[in-house]
């Protein structure tokens, strides 16, 4: 049994980074990730870690620095949020394209404008096609556990891809929770020694990173990347099982809650799942067969598994904490619909955009989502395939929702 | 010139047709080039719109062209100018600009080819292979 502590999500992440003790960390502080950098810089100053810490002038530079360090042949990490991630953009694709196993915690935050520092997943959802593995965490403990596992996933011989470990800004990053730390040597043994592939500093075996690959080779390298991503699916599961043997905590690519016999279900990523669990418990107590599926691995996307786990439902709502203006729905909603398309039997699917800019997503609000699903099952019709949960104004959404809240309360 | 003789780069292969190039399962990941000095295999001669033609009789063998050529396309023999390797020469004209006695003329590639009646890939000695590069000195 490890050490029990009270930690915010950022502190949990900083503790994991201390135990990982990467060779190089280059980071720039940005809300809500700031404490990660602050706490880690203190570990460096106190000599608790051997890390070469590079304070940089921007996130473009932090990602560039860890790319250089990783290509040189060492374990390199950074951390960011929101605008910082946006500023890294071109380097994100380069990290993945060069197949560098960089691990980066991201405290999810909305993107400007208008400026907002609170949690939604617009930042990382926008980076979904960058070739990074994306794992979304529910709470402080999971952010810690996932970061440690991410090192193994990223550096796995059959993967060699960078990993983002995402946790909701403020809701997870700044709130305090009880959690368990593994012993330092347990983490050290679990992650093992860093194995570099084609290190630039190996002057006896000179290599070139970042050559030009035009119409004759570019396509082949992109195809390789897709394969690395596909192989990551099994590796995530293998690493999760090994980690469970060590810690007693298991996290696969997704997590089910009362799902197997459910008739209606919600699919969501991140901390909102904790709230939804409360709603499921309440509805179950009333005899409603409600379930929940929390997706952890958005990249790679577990298409076949989701089709299998969701097809028995009568109605499903995918909740997206990010929007894709002009698209058919949020990024997760669109993809889950596609995943279900090949199933002979599939639920009616609706998609709700929620919690943008950190808008509080309460038990009441999520209860209205299940009520929508109950109505769909009762009437057999879908009125609103895409809705904005709890937004004010407009002809129907806001008012409909406000009306639904007292009703939702009444049923509890 | 007492420069140490460098190891010869890998022998050049003929440019491969698109379908002959290796597939995604057969190349190192991340576009990392693991073979040192393999630029010798890369034909840049077909980028040329003008080619340097050297009046060797008037050449004073100062080797400025050899120093300045960005493509290592000037071939030496016994520390003297020998020829231009047209497999790699991309026709930038730097040698022509730097030659102190102005004996390198840039000739339009199409004209040079019809004059010489060749493919434009052969070097000054008619070799299609770029092997001579790097052996100078
Ligand atoms: S620069 Fe001119 S003179 Fe000097 S070696 Fe080259 S061709 Fe001859
Ligand atoms: S034209 Fe340019 S590439 Fe060709 S030999 Fe002269 S300097 Fe080299």
| Closest to A165 in 3D by CA, of A191, A138, A129 | A138
Q: How far is A211 from chain B (nearest CA, A)?
A: 7
CATH class of the domain defined by B42-137: alpha beta
Asked if A200 and A261 sit in the same domain, the reply is no
Asked if A151 and A237 sit in the same domain, the reply is yes
Residue A293 Cα to chain centre, angstroms: 14
Comparing A246-255, B68-77, B117-126, the range with the smallest average pLDDT is: B117-126
B34 interface with A at CB cutoff 8 Å: yes
Q: Report the CATH number that the domain containing residue A175 is assigned in CATH.
A: 3.40.50.970
**Helical residues (DSSP H) of A156-217, grouped into ranges:** 184-191
A14/A405: higher pLDDT = A14
pLDDT in tens, A357-395: 999 999 999 999 999 999 999 999 999 999 999 999 876
> What's the pLDDT at A155?
98
Asked if A350 and A274 sit in the same domain, the reply is yes
Asked if A213 and A92 sit in the same domain, the reply is yes
Q: What angle (nearest 5°) sits at the alpha carbon of residue A138, between those of residues A323 and A119?
A: 40
Compute, in angstroms, the gap from residue B114 CA to the centroid of ligand 2: 20
Residue A277 and residue A272: Cα distance in Å, rounded? Answer: 9
**In chain A, % of residues over pLDDT 90:** 94
Asked if A140 and A170 sit in the same domain, the reply is yes
What does the pLDDT average to over A42-70? 98
Ligand 2 touching residue B48 (CB < 6 A): no
Residues counted in chain B: 137
* Residue A73 scores a pLDDT above 80: yes
| Closest to A4 in 3D by CA, of A250, A184, A182, A172 | A182
Q: Given 3-state DSSP classes, what are the helix, strand and coil percentages for chain A, each rounded to the nearest 5? A: 45, 20, 40
A213 interface with B at CB cutoff 8 Å: yes
Half-sphere exposure for A278 (CA within 13 Å, toward CB)? 12
Asked if A388 and A346 sit in the same domain, the reply is yes
- List CB contacts of B69: < 8 A, sequence separation 6 or more: B89, B94, B95
Asked if A264 and A226 sit in the same domain, the reply is no
* Residue B124 scores a pLDDT above 50: no
- List CB contacts of A357: < 8 A, sequence separation 6 or more: A110, A116, A118, A120
pLDDT in tens, A389-405: 999 987 655 544 555 55
> What's the pLDDT at B123?
45
Domain end position, chosen among A198, A224, A247: A247
Tell me the ligand closest to B104's alpha carbon: 1
Asked if A177 and A68 sit in the same domain, the reply is yes
* Three-state SS sequence of A291-328: EEEEECEEECCCHHHHHHHHCCCCEEEEEECCCCCCCC
* Residue B136 scores a pLDDT above 60: no
What does the pLDDT average to over B39-58? 93
> What's the pLDDT at B126?
42
Q: How far is A216 from chain B (nearest CA, A)?
A: 7
Cβ–Cβ of B32/A198 closer than 8 Å? yes
Judging by beta carbons within 10 Å of its beta carbon (0-12, 13-18, 19+), is residue A14 exposed, middle or buried? Answer: buried
Q: Whose CA is nearest to atom 8 of ligand 1?
A: B59
Compute, in angstroms, the gap from residue B99 CA to the centroid of ligand 2: 11
> What's the pLDDT at A286?
97
A408/A161: higher pLDDT = A161
Q: Residue A374: which domain range?
A: 256-410
Asked if A236 and A102 sit in the same domain, the reply is yes
Confidence of residue A116 (pLDDT cuts 50, 70, 90): very high
What does the pLDDT average to over A140-164? 98
A217 interface with B at CB cutoff 8 Å: yes
Compute, in angstroms, the gap from residue B50 CA to the centroid of ligand 1: 18
* Residue A351 scores a pLDDT above 90: yes
Chain A residues close to B24, C-beta within 8 Å = 220-221, 223-224, 227
Q: Whose CA is nearest to atom 7 of ligand 2?
A: B69
Confidence of residue B18 (pLDDT cuts 50, 70, 90): confident
pLDDT in tens, A319-346: 999 999 999 999 999 999 999 999 999 9
Asked if A140 and A54 sit in the same domain, the reply is yes
Q: How far is A97 from chain B (nearest CA, A)?
A: 6
The residue written with tokens 């669109």 in the block is A334
Confidence of residue A27 (pLDDT cuts 50, 70, 90): very high
**Helical residues (DSSP H) of chain B, grouped into ranges:** 64-68, 94-98, 109-116
A201 interface with B at CB cutoff 8 Å: no
- The interface predicted TM-score of the complex, written ipTM, equals 0.87
A96 interface with B at CB cutoff 8 Å: no
Asked if A241 and A264 sit in the same domain, the reply is no
Half-sphere exposure for A92 (CA within 13 Å, toward CB)? 24
> How many structural domains compose chain A?
2
> What's the pLDDT at B41?
83
Domain end position, chosen among A247, A278, A296: A247
Q: Of B15, B21, B29, B40, which to mutate for an interface test with A (greatest number of A Cβ within 10 Å)?
A: B29
B122/A250: higher pLDDT = A250
- Ligand 1, residues at Cβ distance < 6 Å: B 54, 59-65, 81, 99, 101, 103-104
> What's the pLDDT at A176?
98
Residues A307 and A268: beta-carbon distance below 8 Å: no
> What's the pLDDT at B16?
78
Kind and range of the H or E run holding A136: strand A133-137
Ligand 2 touching residue B92 (CB < 6 A): yes
Domain end position, chosen among A247, A272, A294: A247
* Helices A363-379, A397-410: inter-axial angle, 10-degree rounding: 100
Cβ–Cβ of A224/B34 closer than 8 Å? no
Q: Report the CATH number that the domain containing residue A265 is assigned in CATH.
A: 3.40.50.920
pLDDT in tens, A287-325: 999 999 999 999 999 999 999 999 999 999 999 999 999
What does the pLDDT average to over A88-107? 98
B7 interface with A at CB cutoff 8 Å: no
> What's the pLDDT at B11?
47
> What's the pLDDT at B119?
47
> What's the pLDDT at B122?
46
> What's the pLDDT at B90?
96
Chain A residues close to B23, C-beta within 8 Å = 220
Asked if A7 and A49 sit in the same domain, the reply is yes
What does the pLDDT average to over A136-151? 98
> If you measure CA to CA, which chain B residue comes closest to A204?
B36
pLDDT in tens, A157-205: 999 999 999 999 999 999 999 999 999 999 999 999 999 999 999 999 9
Q: Whose CA is nearest to atom 4 of ligand 1?
A: B62
Residues B2 and B33: beta-carbon distance below 8 Å: no
């Amino acid at each position: 049994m490890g050490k029990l502590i009270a930690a915010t999500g950022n502190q949990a992440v900083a503790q994991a980074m201390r135990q990982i003790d990467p060779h190089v960390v280059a980071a720039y502080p940005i809300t809500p990730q700031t404490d990660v950098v602050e706490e880690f810089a203190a570990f460096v100053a106190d000599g608790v870690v051997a890390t070469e810490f590079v304070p940089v002038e921007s996130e473009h530079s932090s990602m560039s620095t860890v790319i250089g360090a990783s290509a040189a042949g060492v374990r390199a990490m950074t951390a960011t949020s929101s605008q910082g991630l946006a500023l890294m953009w071109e380097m994100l694709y380069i990290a993945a394209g060069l197949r560098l196993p960089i691990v980066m915690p991201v405290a999810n935050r909305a993107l400007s404008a208008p400026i907002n520092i609170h949690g939604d997943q617009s930042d990382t959802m926008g980076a979904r096609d960058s070739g990074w593995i994306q794992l979304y965490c529910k709470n402080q403990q999971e952010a810690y556990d996932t970061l440690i596992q991410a090192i193994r996933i990223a550096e796995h011989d059959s993967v060699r891809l960078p990993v983002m470990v995402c946790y909701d800004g403020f809701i997870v990053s700044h709130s305090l929770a009880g959690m368990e730390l593994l012993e330092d040597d347990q983490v050290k043994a679990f992650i093992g020694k860093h194995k570099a592939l084609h290190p630039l500093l190996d002057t006896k075996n000179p290599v070139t990173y970042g050559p030009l690959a035009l119409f004759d080779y570019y396509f082949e390298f992109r195809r390789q990347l897709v394969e690395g991503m596909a192989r990551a699916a099994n590796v995530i599961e293998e690493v999760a099982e090994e980690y469970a043997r060590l810690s007693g905590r298991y996290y696969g690519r997704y997590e089910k809650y009362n799902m197997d016999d459910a008739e209606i279900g919600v699919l969501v990523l991140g901390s909102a799942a904790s709230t939804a669990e409360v709603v499921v418990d309440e509805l179950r107590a009333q005899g409603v067969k409600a379930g929940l599926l929390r997706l952890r691995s958005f990249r790679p996307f577990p298409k076949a598994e989701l089709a299998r786990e969701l097809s028995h439902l009568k109605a499903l709502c995918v909740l997206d904490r990010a929007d894709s203006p002009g698209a058919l729905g949020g990024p997760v909603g669109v993809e889950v619909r596609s995943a279900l398309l090949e199933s002979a039997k599939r639920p009616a699917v609706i998609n709700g955009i929620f919690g943008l800019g950190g808008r509080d997503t309460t038990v009441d609000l999520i209860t209205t989502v299940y009520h929508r699903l109950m109505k769909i099952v009762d009437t057999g019709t879908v009125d609103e395939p895409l809705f904005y949960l709890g937004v004010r104004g407009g002809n129907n959404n806001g008012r409909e929702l406000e009306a639904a809240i007292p009703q939702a309360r009444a049923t509890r | 010139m007492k420069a140490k003789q460098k190891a010869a780069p890998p022998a050049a292969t003929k440019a491969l047709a698109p379908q002959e190039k290796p597939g995604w399962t057969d190349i190192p990941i991340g576009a990392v080039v693991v073979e040192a000095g393999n630029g010798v295999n890369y034909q840049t001669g077909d980028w040329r719109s003008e080619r340097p033609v050297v009046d060797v009789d008037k050449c004073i063998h100062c080797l400025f062209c050899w120093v300045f050529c960005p493509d290592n396309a000037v071939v030496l023999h016994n520390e003297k100018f020998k020829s231009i390797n047209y497999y790699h020469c991309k026709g930038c004209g730097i040698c022509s600009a730097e030659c102190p006695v102005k004996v390198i003329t840039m000739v339009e590639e199409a004209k040079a080819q019809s004059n010489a009646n060749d493919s434009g890939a052969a070097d000054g000695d008619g070799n299609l292979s770029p092997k001579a590069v790097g052996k100078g000195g």
